[in-house]
Amino acid sequence: MIESAFLMNLLVFASILGLAALGGMFSERSGVINIALEGKMLMAACVTGWIGGTSGSALIGVTAGVVAAIALSLAHYLLTQVYSIEHIVAGMAINVFAYGATNFIALTFIKPGTSNHFLPISVYLGLALLASLVSTFVFARTRAGLRLLAVGESPEKSRVTGLDPLRVRLQALIVTGVLCGLSGALIVTNSGAFSDNMTSGRGFIALAALILGGWRPVRATLACLAFAAFEAGQIQLQGTKLFGYETPAALWNAMPYVITLVALAGFVGRAKAPAGLGKA
């Protein structure tokens, strides 16, 4: 019984992280640094819960959530590409905005006690698997994928070869919005209702998985699975003895971040960022 609960949690957490990490991959490999995954997911979680509840339709709810995440992605595009704002600053602004806007929406529009309408979790698990397979294929085999990689590696050279980096990045960021939207929708679906700051750093864990996976789809997905295992397993892991001490849950929660730090220092593999990351 415990095993099946663990397995279900593992799949859900891995899907949440996987969808977001793949979303981050489209953005980052096109050259847009994305520390705003968290904000986009939070926005989608909030709007999915809100519109799903008021419309009475799960499908409309998810669609609205995804559209909200796309809207933030478009804002991200505007800020970084049209206004040339430093990508980190733009990402921070989007996270802060999403944090405030979701608090605002939840208190202004979500009536307590409204019944919730969510798609079944299995739909999301299927979509996450599909997204992982399709992304791998897109980057490895399609013209659009190669163009995206070219723009991300060198916007200057790709411009010379006739590509339009701004256009490619716009498309990439829309895909990011869709994937982060689904990820956020899954978070609210899994908990049953929206609560303040409910993404609780998962957008950053997804970013960590992306980096740990060296910005490659299969490796990033594996990293998501590993991180999800820490989260799903913490119930079993906490209290286990390590060097004679009982380990607190916080330690297991912190593991993904610690591993990523060690990886960044170059001790686990060598994560190489797209060369054009953050460049105009």
Partner 1 sequence: MKGVSLAWRLGALIVGSIVLVVAALMATQAPVGEVVQRLLLDSFSGPTSFSETLKRFCPYVIAGVAVFWALRAGLFNIGVEGQFLIGGMVGIAVSLPIGGFGGILLGALAGSVAGMLWAIPAGWIKAYRGGHEVISTIMLNQIAILLTSHLVAGPLMDKNAGFPTTASLAPTSMLGGIPFGPVTVSWAILIAMVVVGVFSWWLRRTVSGFELSVTGANPTAAQFAGIEVKRTVFQAMAWSGAVAGFGGALQAVAFEGRFFEGFSSGYGFDALGVAILAGGNPLAILPSAFAFAVLGQGATAVQLNGVPKGISSVILALLIAVFAAFRYAKVRPIHD
- Describe the crossing of helices 217-237 and 249-264 by its angle, rounded to 10 degrees: 150
Q: Which residues pair with 241 in a beta bridge?
A: 246
Using the rule CB under 8 A, is 207 a contact of partner 1? yes
**Minimum gap (Å) between residue 194 Cβ and partner 1:** 13
Using the rule CB under 8 A, is 122 a contact of partner 1? no
Question: In this complex, which beta carbon is closest to partner 1, that of residue 24 or of residue 145?
Answer: 24
| Dihedral angle of Cα 65, 187, 176, 76, to the nearest 10 degrees | 70
Strand spans (E) along the chain: 241-242, 245-246
Are 23 and 167 contacting, i.e. CB atoms less than 8 angstroms apart?
A: no
Phi first, then psi, for residue 88 (nearest 5°) are: -65, -45
Residue span 133-172 as binding mask against partner 1, x where in contact by CB under 8 A, dash where not: --------------------------x-----xx------
What residue type is 99 in one-letter code? Y
Q: Please give the structure tokens belonging to residue 233.
A: 């397993």
**Minimum gap (Å) between residue 166 Cβ and partner 1:** 8
Of the residues 59, 82, 133, 146, which one makes contact with partner 1 according to CB under 8 A: 82
Q: Please give the structure tokens belonging to residue 206.
A: 């997804």
Using the rule CB under 8 A, is 246 a contact of partner 1? no
Using the rule CB under 8 A, is 20 a contact of partner 1? no
- Contact residues toward partner 1 (CB under 8 A) are 33, 35, 79, 81-86, 88-90, 92-97, 99-109, 159, 165-166, 201, 204-205, 207-208, 211, 248-250, 253-254, 257-258, 260-261, 264-266, 271, 273, 280
